[in-house]
Structure 1
Amino acid sequence: MTQPTESLPITTLLPETVADPIVMYDSHAALRFAVVERAYVQRLGPEWDQPGNYILLDPVTPEGKWGCYVGKAAPGGIRARLMDHLRQKDHWRRALLMQRDTSHSFNSAQVAWLEGRLYDLLDSAEEAVLSNGVRPSDETLPSFERAMLEACVLPVRRVLRLLGYDAATADDASVPTPSMIRTRSSRFNGVSLVDLINAGLLGPGTRLVSVSTPWPASAVVGAQNEIEVDGKSYPTPSGAASAVKNGAPVNGWDFWAIEEPSGKTTLATLRARLLDARGAADT
């Protein structure tokens, strides 16, 4: 029996030469991407004079490590921001750009929140070396907008992998054995499932649902701060998600969600809320 897959359909426009950007469209999340080489930033068209986010990418080292920097462009456009980085940062060789592919572009609060969320993605990636000094964040975005923007993270992660920059974490970088599913570290980006419970973002009995259409599933947060799936307990979100996917590696923080009035909110979004709250408390 063929197992369900989670392929992401993206339309890619390949230019004739490296001087022009590669442009990609994700119709599901209404996103436009571009991959531009540092030497040809000036070739970007006026459509990139809009707010959005970007990731500066260094060459991959022989050890497989890759440096990166995540940023936002608002209220100005991405093109002008990259021109600034030509003068200010000399380490990057290409950039991945992202903006809303609709008549209404991202606003300043949205790109600020996405900047922090993409920081979390890259900070957690096992092979990435993030050069941002501090985690950016925005406290003004309402929760229903955060849930909507969460859909932008998966396409970014997969496009990075397509470009040779795998953002897999130590938690999901390798195919786990059944014993690994149950025993690997319960912390992810400095936050554990227990941290979410202690912060009141989850609680015993909280129902979790999969956000993966090919892999529908439900789970519950147990009394011992674990996740229960089909009567079995797992100490980590990724362990529980891997069990659903027959042992395949998966980032459980992006797989599981709670259901709120605004829609499904992933554990990754709850983690970001906790990190935002911690940052605000430290200032």
Structure 2
Amino acid sequence: MAQVIPVNVQVPAASTAPLVADFVSHALRVAYAARRDVDRLSGDEWGVPGIYVLLTDDGSHHLYVGQAVDLRKRLLQHRSRPKLPWVRAVAIKRDTSHGFNSAEIGYLEGRVAAEVAAIPGVTVIEGRRDQDTTLPPHMLLSLDELLSSVLAALRLAGVDTHKEADEPEGKTLSASRRKRPTAKYGTVADLLALGLLRAGAEVHLSQGGRSANGTVTTSGEIVYGGVSYASPSKAAQQALGLQSSNGWTTWHVGNINGPTLDSLRDQIAETVGEVVE
């Protein structure tokens, strides 16, 4: 069953009032405002740090991804001095007592810009690709977890966030009852759950004169170039610029001489003893 992201949407009776959606799992509040109506955003609520996406409707599929310490003020600046012919804004803030800080929105801006730019046919205008990485690793992991809700927020705005086929690789542990399966079993998420791999671990590859590194998220994805991939092979393919690549044997954990993901997966049978449904 596909993951469901719970969201509460408030639709004001006034046609010019921005819609507001609360993504409860990650404590994000999102405002959807037409360009003409951004001044209707409350300064008390939206004069805070966050990220935003400006959407066009001219068929160009051009988007602008930005950050601001004052979302309302920045959107008003974009209305009077537009970087592109945008018609709607999606403003995202943390719905907590402290909210985001400048380093957090710097990282998120880069991550969201990279994720959106990876969508076929979409062009990010002046969005940052070099996300701020000055935060400690555990904070970067917690921010990475927000991306599913951020992309869901864009889907509610009508953005097609579908990327090329990118599914978790490997048969899950529930796929067999055999004690020592000869086939490869387990996903990256299973490696995390069994303690064979830790969230935040760096992974490295080097092949054909090209090298790259990524990080493992709490959900078992690999982030390379600011984009998260559910498939290790898809991440390796993008990193190496190839049509195909076996990410299980290509990605090494810790450093280029560290164990491969595949060698860690070989330990699953020993760790669990018996695979059960």
Q: TM-score, normalised by structure 1?
A: 0.60
Q: Which amino acid aligns with 1:170?
A: E
| Local SS of the residue matching 1:80 | helix
Q: Which amino acid aligns with 1:211?
A: S
> Does structure 2 conserve the Cα–Cα contact (< 8 Å) formed by 1:157 and 1:166?
no
* Cα offset, 1:17, TM superposition: 3.0
Change (3 A) 1:210 1:13: same
In structure 2, list runs of 5 or more residues that go unmatched: 168-202, 222-230, 238-246, 255-277
Give the counterpart of 1:66 among 61, 69, 78.
Answer: 61
Which residue of structure 1 aligns with residue 16 of structure 2? 19
Which residue of structure 2 aligns with residue 78 of structure 1? 71
| Local SS of the residue matching 1:34 | strand
Distance 1:113 1:124 in 2: 17
> Does structure 1 conserve the Cα–Cα contact (< 8 Å) formed by 2:113 and 2:128?
no
Distance 1:209 1:119 in 2: 18
* Cα offset, 1:194, TM superposition: 3.9
> Does structure 1 conserve the Cα–Cα contact (< 8 Å) formed by 2:204 and 2:214?
no
Q: Which amino acid aligns with 2:50?
A: G
Give the counterpart of 2:162 among 160, 164, 168.
Answer: 168
> Does structure 1 conserve the Cα–Cα contact (< 8 Å) formed by 2:141 and 2:218?
no
Distance 1:38 1:144 in 2: 36
Give the counterpart of 2:121 among 118, 123, 127.
Answer: 127
Change (3 A) 1:210 1:153: closer
* Cα offset, 1:153, TM superposition: 0.8
Distance 2:85 2:161 in 1: 19
> Does structure 1 conserve the Cα–Cα contact (< 8 Å) formed by 2:51 and 2:108?
yes
Distance 2:217 2:128 in 1: 32
Change (3 A) 1:16 1:110: same
Change (3 A) 1:92 1:211: same
Which residue of structure 1 aligns with residue 36 of structure 2? 39
> Does structure 2 conserve the Cα–Cα contact (< 8 Å) formed by 1:51 and 1:105?
yes
Distance 2:136 2:9 in 1: 32
In structure 1, list runs of 5 or more residues that go unmatched: 174-191, 203-207, 213-217, 219-228, 240-252, 261-283
Which residue of structure 2 aligns with residue 178 of structure 1? none
Distance 2:149 2:58 in 1: 21
Q: Which amino acid aligns with 2:40?
A: R
Give the counterpart of 2:105 among 104, 111, 121.
Answer: 111
Give the counterpart of 1:57 among 50, 55, 71.
Answer: 55
Change (3 A) 1:195 1:161: farther
Matched positions, count = 194
Task: Please show how residues 1-283 of structure 1 align to structure 2 within 5 Å.
Answer: 4-46=1-43, 47-59=45-57, 61=59, 65-74=60-69, 77-89=70-82, 91-132=85-126, 135-172=129-166, 194=205, 198-199=211-212, 201=214, 211=219, 235-236=233-234
Structure with larger Rg: 2
Matched residues, percent identical? 30
Distance 2:72 2:49 in 1: 9
